[in-house]
Amino acid sequence: MSHFGRAGPPDIRDTYSLLVLNITFRTTADDLFPLFDKYGKVVDVFIPRDRRTGDSRGFAFVRYKYADEAQKAVDKLDGRVVDGREIMVQFAKYGPDAERIHKGRIVEPVEKLKGRSRSRSPRPRYRDDHRDRDYRRRDRSRSRDRYDERYRGRDRDRYRSRSRSRSPDYRRERRRGRYDDDKGRSPSPNRSVSPPARGSASPRKSVSPRRSPSRSRSPVARDEKERSPTPKSVSPRGRSDSRSPSPQRSDADE
DNA sequence: GTTGAGCGTT
């Protein structure tokens, strides 16, 4: 039914892929299908989602059967507000398998229709094809790197596949940008493997400044207070759960 | 519950 992209690419003999950007994170293919289908024959609608979380990335791919209809949808739906967000529809350039050309068949309406409609979107941004696209890729990481940093090194390779092979030095730089305070972590190899005893590891900085005084002053007293905050009227729900009730496990975990 | 430049799967 509306499970587009669930069974993989249906048939891309001469379908034109449109890239829909700036869509809401909760917009599904079902919402885009009737929207794009009204302007032409939509072969398939696919919305890439996260590998780990499974959430939408914020963009979708709409495949049209004809380029004229696709172009029309781009001109009509591009810049249209969907779900309260303005979406941007444009022809997909980067494909998993060079959809632009299929078996010698020219499937690139962008060149043919490029001069047809110049009104792209109310929000024209830099579209540098031969420009240094390294900075843009690095820049967009600041919003989704929170996931990338977890599986970096595995699935990340496939993402880099579509891009030109870059030196390994590049990825170090981009990740260093996030850890500005990590500039001095290199000469401290033992620091990476010395978090066993947080109570005696860093006597100088200790852990948290807020809970530090409580512990250093009277660790037992705090425990008692947390365990029995108000003897006269204790909460029936058990607010003693304020902090992790199992700190011993967390210590040896990481 | 968050995030908003960009390009895709069985």
CA A2 to centroid of chain Cα atoms: 24
Q: pTM score, two decimals?
A: 0.49
Q: Judge if the beta carbon of A61 is closer than 7 A to nucleic acid strand B.
A: yes
Q: Which has the closest alpha carbon to A70: A28, A29, A113, A105?
A: A113
pLDDT tens per residue, range A56-72? 999 999 999 888 899 88
Least confident of A18-27, A36-45, A76-85, A238-247: A238-247
Q: Which of residues 64-93 of A touch strand B (CB under 7 A)?
A: 85, 88, 90-93
| Protein-contacted bases of chain B (C-beta within 7 A) | 2-10
Predicted local distance difference test score (pLDDT) of residue A6: 54
Give the list of residues 6+ apart from residue A15 with CB closer than 8 angstroms, or none: A43, A44, A63, A64, A65, A99, A107
A182-199 burial, b for 16+ CB within 10 Å, e for fewer? eeeeeeeeeeeeeeeeee
Q: Judge if the beta carbon of A63 is closer than 7 A to nucleic acid strand B.
A: yes
Q: Strand (E) positions, A120-248?
A: none
Predicted local distance difference test score (pLDDT) of residue A166: 37
Predicted local distance difference test score (pLDDT) of residue A80: 92
Q: Report the protein residue whose CA lies nearest the C1' of nucleotide B4.
A: A22
Protein-to-nucleotide distance from the CA of A13 to the C1' of B10, whole angstroms: 17
Cα–Cα dist A122/A126, whole Å: 13
Cα–Cα dist A240/A230, whole Å: 11
- The overall average pLDDT reported for chain A is 58
Protein-to-nucleotide distance from the CA of A186 to the C1' of B7, whole angstroms: 35
8 A C-beta contact, residue A240 and residue A226: yes
pLDDT tens per residue, range A146-173? 444 444 444 434 333 333 333 343 333 4
